Chains A and B, each alone.
Chain A
Amino acid sequence: MATITFHGVGIKALSACVPPEVVYNRDLGYLIPEEEIDKTINNIGIEQRRIAAPDVTASDLCYKAAVQLMEDNGIDPSSIDVLLFMSQTPDYRIPATSCLLQHRLGLPRETMCFDISLGCSGYLFALSTAFAYASMQGVNRVLLLDGETFSKIVNRRDKVDWPLYGDAGTATLVEKGDYGESTFMLNTDGSGEEVLKIRAGMRHPITPDSCVEREWEDGSIRSDLEVFMDGMDVFNFAISKVPKSIKQLLKETDHTIEDVDYLIFHQANRFMMDFFVKKLKIAPDHVPYCINRYGNTSSASVPLTVSSELAGKLGGEHTAVMSAFGAGLSWGSVIMQMRDCNVSPVIEY
């Protein structure tokens, strides 16, 4: 377990962008028996999701979010020292999408850019990386762009995954300043690699056969190029790890759950988050949700929830916990003292 503490760095501003196209889960009659649709929506808590057009990528959504953030906060592009792009749906396999974004955003050539790839827990790991660089001598500002378009890697006839996932791009500006303590706890268990996976890659090279759609045990259709998830195993993993790791983080930083103003979960599904809330005995009004409108946007879901639910609410000082978990298996949480964080409302592109 990696436990990392920072002082004097924090989130200055945050923004998010979603596609305008709304997909309604009540229209999933082709996938789920009509009589079960209401119950499914009620359980997973997802009424609608945003789906990117074929020519819109995660980096497009992140670009728009970044431009909005820079406009709203008067940020000079030349003041960005490091640009991080966290995504599992980058534009290309080569080159890294962060390089394309450096050019597109008009950032100087002196900007250090690289991509980070991780599952739904990715924002926490990428944010800790942003905090680490912002803490270093020679770096003042880090722009973290976290976006996913899972609609491009999930089969529309996948009963487990298709009702869950939505697309979004986000921007988070991290910088040096008069910020209090932030402590991250980041964890990994690679023995769970099979639980959430796209099989085709370098280990299992992509061939014409990889594109063939097959019917699986549960009646779902997918190819080896698309996401597979064992919902029960992911659920078991999350409920056994997430509440315990948040309790441990609170204990090690001498906090109690009552100290937490906002607990922002990865928006996996509502049933799971309600279970966490019950386990942690936190008042539900301290736990913002946006899953009903945007679905599970993978690693973008934590910053999307901040933009969607906390815009205009993070002036002054607040104690926030963010927690996410996903493929790997991988999970992490942070407790941070937020100060005058300027959150832009969600925009569309």
Chain B
Amino acid sequence: MDIKRFIENFADLFDETDPATISAATKFKELDEWSSLVALSVIAMVDEEYDVEFRGDDIRGSSTVEDLYKIVNNRVMSFS
């Protein structure tokens, strides 16, 4: 799994946030546009792109985009 591609998928979920400002280290909950509805679209994206189930606690327990990536990556690895 490629973290660059994951960051692109993540950045695609925002309408007003410049994708160039989102990196692995971005604390996503501090983004102006972050909301509980964007959180739902993260869950949907992870299901669609990686066929991984994301729970509320996964998002609540994560701080950076890389934290999210690691959870998805671990689950992809454990199923493959």
| Of the residues A39, A160, A218, A236, contact of B53 by C-beta under 8 Å | A236
Binding site for B on A (CB under 8 A): 36, 39-40, 43-44, 160, 218, 230-233, 235-236, 239-240, 271-272, 275, 279
Residues of B within 8 A of A160 (CB): 36
Instruction: Using A232-B59, A233-B55 as known contacts, say yes or no to A239 and B43 having CB atoms under 8 A apart.
Output: yes
Q: Which 3 residue pairs spanning A and B have beta carbons closest together?
A: A232-B56, A233-B56, A43-B37
In the complex, B39 has a CB within 8 A of chain A = yes
**What's the minimum C-beta distance from A197 to chain B, rounded to whole angstroms?**
14
Residue of A nearest to B35 (CB): A36
Instruction: Using A239-B44, A240-B47 as known contacts, say yes or no to A232 and B37 having CB atoms under 8 A apart.
Output: no
Residue of A nearest to B52 (CB): A240
**What's the minimum C-beta distance from A187 to chain B, rounded to whole angstroms?**
16
* CB–CB B55/A236 < 8 A: yes
* CB–CB A271/B40 < 8 A: yes
* CB–CB B56/A236 < 8 A: yes
Binding site for A on B (CB under 8 A): 35-37, 39-41, 43-44, 47-48, 53-56, 59-60
Instruction: Using A235-B43, A239-B43 as known contacts, say yes or no to A40 and B53 having CB atoms under 8 A apart.
Output: no
Residues of A within 8 A of B35 (CB): 36, 39
Whole-angstrom CA separation of A36 from B36 in the bound complex: 11
Residues of B within 8 A of A39 (CB): 35, 37
* CB–CB B44/A275 < 8 A: yes
Whole-angstrom CA separation of A1 from B35 in the bound complex: 36
**What's the minimum C-beta distance from B48 to chain A, rounded to whole angstroms?**
8
Whole-angstrom CA separation of A235 from B40 in the bound complex: 7
Whole-angstrom CA separation of A240 from B55 in the bound complex: 11
Beyond A232-B40, A232-B60, A233-B56, 20 additional contacts (C-beta under 8 Å) are A36-B35, A40-B37, A43-B37, A230-B56, A231-B36, A231-B40, A231-B56, A232-B36, A232-B55, A232-B59, A233-B55, A235-B43, A236-B43, A236-B53, A236-B55, A240-B53, A271-B37, A271-B41, A272-B40, A275-B44
Which among A43, A231, A235, A275 has the greatest number of chain B C-beta atoms within 10 A? Answer: A235
Residues of B within 8 A of A279 (CB): 48
Whole-angstrom CA separation of A36 from B41 in the bound complex: 16
Residues of A within 8 A of B53 (CB): 236, 240
Whole-angstrom CA separation of A157 from B11 in the bound complex: 31
- Pull 12 A–B residue pairs with CB atoms less than 8 Å apart, ordered by A: A39-B35, A43-B37, A160-B36, A231-B40, A232-B55, A232-B59, A235-B43, A236-B54, A236-B56, A239-B47, A240-B47, A275-B44
Residues of B within 8 A of A44 (CB): 37
Whole-angstrom CA separation of A40 from B40 in the bound complex: 12
Whole-angstrom CA separation of A44 from B40 in the bound complex: 11
* CB–CB A218/B55 < 8 A: no
Residues of A within 8 A of B47 (CB): 236, 239-240
Residue of B nearest to A195 (CB): B56
**What's the minimum C-beta distance from A216 to chain B, rounded to whole angstroms?**
13
Whole-angstrom CA separation of A236 from B60 in the bound complex: 14
**What's the minimum C-beta distance from B63 to chain A, rounded to whole angstroms?**
16
Residue of A nearest to B42 (CB): A232
**What's the minimum C-beta distance from B75 to chain A, rounded to whole angstroms?**
12
Whole-angstrom CA separation of A235 from B42 in the bound complex: 11
Residues of B within 8 A of A239 (CB): 43-44, 47
Residues of A within 8 A of B59 (CB): 232
Whole-angstrom CA separation of A232 from B60 in the bound complex: 10
Residues of A within 8 A of B54 (CB): 236
Residues of A within 8 A of B48 (CB): 279
Instruction: Using A232-B59, A233-B56, A236-B54 as known contacts, say yes or no to A218 and B44 having CB atoms under 8 A apart.
Output: no
**What's the minimum C-beta distance from A175 to chain B, rounded to whole angstroms?**
40
Whole-angstrom CA separation of A240 from B56 in the bound complex: 14
